[in-house]
Amino acid sequence: MGRLQGKVAIITGAAMGMGEADARLFASEGAKVVATDISVEKLRAVVSEINATGGDAIALELDVSSEADWAKVVANTIELYGTIDILINNAGILTCKDLEHCTLDNWNKVQSINSTGVFLGMKSVIPEMKKNRKGSIVNISSIAGLTGSVFATAGDVAYCASKWAVRGMSKQVANTYASFNIRVNSLHPGPTNTPLFQAADEPEGGWAPILSQVVPLPPYQTQPIMQAYAALYLASDEASFITGIELPCDGGFSSH
């Protein structure tokens, strides 16, 4: 308990899945959580439960592809809490379109959220972090940002490109702002039981027989809370000498 005591954390895509797990865990570890999402009603329900159990959280609507929305979130956070210590760029989408079936509109939509959203998030918070000469940013990439395999990418060319972009941006920004003691790392989840994963048609016999062929570590798929613990480590002072890395939380998928 208390690994983020007194820190202020902005989390995107916090209404469900990994973002929700991040918001709940970070609040339980003492962070003041600014939970953001476009699914406002779900987000408010999550925040209400966090506050009812002794946490400190607020819900703010955010389209991560909107620079104006980001400006409002940062301004509201500074007005209420006075600082920004942590940013978790978690929001993302998947369309499952291969190259031949990916329209330009599909491509641009995925990039606007998965890639541009991360760019805008960092661009928006880093000026505040520079003032305090400290900060931790965790950008959620994917095993699709480590490989181009059809399994890792769900066959989605735009998703794969966006997650590699997140990985590259994280390294470049980590180098640029290290002198301000601003750390930037990317987290690369493997199969995780989120709404994105649940939206796929489960094969007869379940996922384990298929996942076990590419994920060495049982049970071959994890829960959002395990990804949240990985994000917590990177966000916390325990990782104060770690920047510019990609951390796979993938059951060994990337060990192949």
- State the CATH number of the domain containing residue 89: 3.40.50.720
159 given a catalytic annotation? yes
80-109 per-position pLDDT tens digit: 999 999 999 999 999 989 999 999 999 999
**CA angle, 127 then 130 then 131, to 5°:** 95
CA separation for the pair 43, 31 (Å, rounded): 17
Task: Determine, yes or no, domain membership for 107.
Answer: yes
Task: Give mean pLDDT, residues 206-211.
Answer: 77
CA separation for the pair 46, 159 (Å, rounded): 27
CA separation for the pair 164, 166 (Å, rounded): 5
Task: Determine, yes or no, domain membership for 2.
Answer: no
pLDDT at 150: 85
* Domains held by the chain: number: 1
Give me the catalytic one of 159, 177, 220, 229.
159
- What is the separation, in whole angstroms, between the first and last Cα of the chain? 35
Task: Determine, yes or no, domain membership for 95.
Answer: yes
Contact 253, 215 (CB under 8 A): yes
Domain of 148, in residue numbers: 8-255
Give this prediction's pTM: 0.96
pLDDT at 195: 78
pLDDT at 208: 77
Residue 44: both structure tokens together:
């408010």
Task: Determine, yes or no, domain membership for 206.
Answer: yes
Task: Give mean pLDDT, residues 220-243.
Answer: 97
Task: Determine, yes or no, domain membership for 141.
Answer: yes
pLDDT band at residue 153 using 50, 70 and 90 as cut-offs: confident
165-196 per-position pLDDT tens digit: 999 999 999 999 999 999 999 999 999 988 76
Task: Determine, yes or no, domain membership for 89.
Answer: yes
pLDDT band at residue 204 using 50, 70 and 90 as cut-offs: low
pLDDT at 199: 62
Task: Give mean pLDDT, residues 105-117.
Answer: 98
pLDDT at 164: 98
pLDDT at 194: 84
Task: Determine, yes or no, domain membership for 41.
Answer: yes
pLDDT at 203: 64
Task: Determine, yes or no, domain membership for 104.
Answer: yes
